[in-house]
Amino acid sequence: MKRFLMPLLAGVFLVGAAQAQTIDRIKETGLLKLGYRLDAAPLSFQAEDGNPAGYTPMVCVELAQGILNTMKIPNMDVEFVPVGMQDQFEKVAAGEIDLLCGASTITLKRRELVDFSIPTFADGTTVMLPINGSEDFAQLAGKKLGVRRDSTTETALNNTLASTATFAEVVRFNDHAAAMTAMENGELDAYFGDQSILAGLWLSSPERGNLKLSTNLLTIEKHGLAMARGDTEFRLMVDRLLSNMYARGVMQAIFQQALPGVQPGDIHRAIFTMAPIIE
């Protein structure tokens, strides 16, 4: 496993001192461990040089600087740890990573295992279709529909099929790359996923001229940074730092850098103004 260490420069940041399990571990080891997804571009992925990339790791780089400034640990290192979709929250709960900087929808089920920061991104479930495909959900009856296995998208798709009494063959994939290959080869009639991830897949596809993204959303989902459950002091530190980043326009700037030319939707623009008041 490759370690990506980022030296941080100390500064002045006034946030109340906290003593809790994550904070104590960081102080003891001098290391902040950030988990990131390899396959959730443009939100979280591994670049060609092997380093973490995407919107959420960029947020966490800025956040890590704030954590260093708050805790005043000289020579603290940051390690980005690749995590899989199946074990990401378990690694947080076990203390193997301090923050999950991936593409994590906040759900009540996941909150049984971990806590989340204030929202860092707003997304929603949508669908990729052949260029001539109908965006009317009823027209997908009897078709082959792809979805990422064990994802919130799979749950949303199954719920929508059940609520609309629509019968279709659901094909579950272990990763987006395999599903995208199936779409490009005409083996699927539709592929469901987070709007941001599908946009990244579509933009990088050599067959994008034959594919399109629906403008309809099945769900509206908020993303957050996952951390140890019940660690209120560390969560307060993270939320304060994120709120300050919103107030200073840092989150907006990261969005434009990570998704150049993309305009945030109404829901995401609202998140820019909904961070808690700092004082």
Q: What pLDDT sits at residue 107?
A: 92
Distance of alpha carbon 245 from alpha carbon 91, whole angstroms: 26
Angle in degrees, CA 145, 106, 101, rounded to 5: 95
> Do 34 and 99 form a contact (C-beta atoms < 8 A)?
yes
In angstroms, rounded to a whole number, what is the distance separating the alpha carbons of residues 157 and 154? 5
Average pLDDT score over the chain: 88
Task: Between 121 and 4, name the one with better pLDDT.
Answer: 121
Work out the average pLDDT over 104-112: 93
Give the span between the Cα atoms of 279 and 238, in whole angstroms. Answer: 15
Token pair belonging to 249: 């326009």
Beta partners for residue 222, in sequence order: 122
Q: What is the pLDDT of residues 238-253, one digit of tens each?
A: 999 999 999 999 999 9
Q: Is it the case that residue 27 has pLDDT exceeding 70?
A: yes
What per-residue confidence (pLDDT) applies to 278? 67
Q: CB under 8 Å to 173, separation ≥6 — which residues?
A: 146, 147, 148, 149, 179, 182
Task: Determine phi and psi for 124, rounding to 5 degrees.
Answer: -165, 155
pTM of the model: 0.76
Q: What is the pLDDT of residue 254?
A: 95
pLDDT at 30 over 70: yes
Largest CA distance in the chain: 61
Domains of the chain as residue ranges with CATH: 4-122+223-272 (3.40.190.10), 125-213 (3.40.190.10)
Is residue 16's pLDDT more than 50? no
Query: Is the pLDDT at 266 greater than 80, yes or no?
Result: no
Look-up of token digits 């996941």: 110
Give the model confidence (pLDDT) of 46-84 as tens digits: 999 999 999 999 999 999 999 999 998 878 899 999 998
Least-confidence region, from 111-120, 227-236, 267-276: 267-276
Residue 11 has pLDDT above 90, yes or no: no
- 268-277 pLDDT, tens digit per residue, is 778 887 777 7
Q: What is the pLDDT of residues 172-188, one digit of tens each?
A: 999 999 999 999 999 99
pLDDT tens digits along 123-166: 888 899 999 999 888 899 999 999 999 888 999 899 989 998 99
Query: So what's the pLDDT on residue 199?
Result: 85
| Better-predicted residue by pLDDT, 217 or 51 | 51
Distance from C-alpha of 163 to C-alpha of 157, rounded to nearest angstrom: 10
Residue 59 and residue 234: Cα distance in Å, rounded?
A: 17
Nearest C-alpha neighbor of 101 from the set 222, 227, 15, 199? 227
Q: Look at residue 256 and give its three-state secondary structure.
A: helix
- What pLDDT sits at residue 13? 34
Q: What are phi and psi of 24, to 5 degrees?
A: -60, -40
Q: Check residue 279 and give its pLDDT.
A: 65
The DSSP bridge partners found for residue 44 are 40
Neighbouring CB atoms inside 10 A of 38's CB total 16
Q: What is each CA distance from 133 to 22, 147, 209, in whole angstroms?
A: 49, 17, 13
Helices (H) and strands (E) in the chain, counts: 9, 16
How far is residue 223's CA from residue 40's CA, in Å, rounded to a whole number?
A: 13
Q: Is 262 or 212 the better-scoring residue by pLDDT?
A: 212
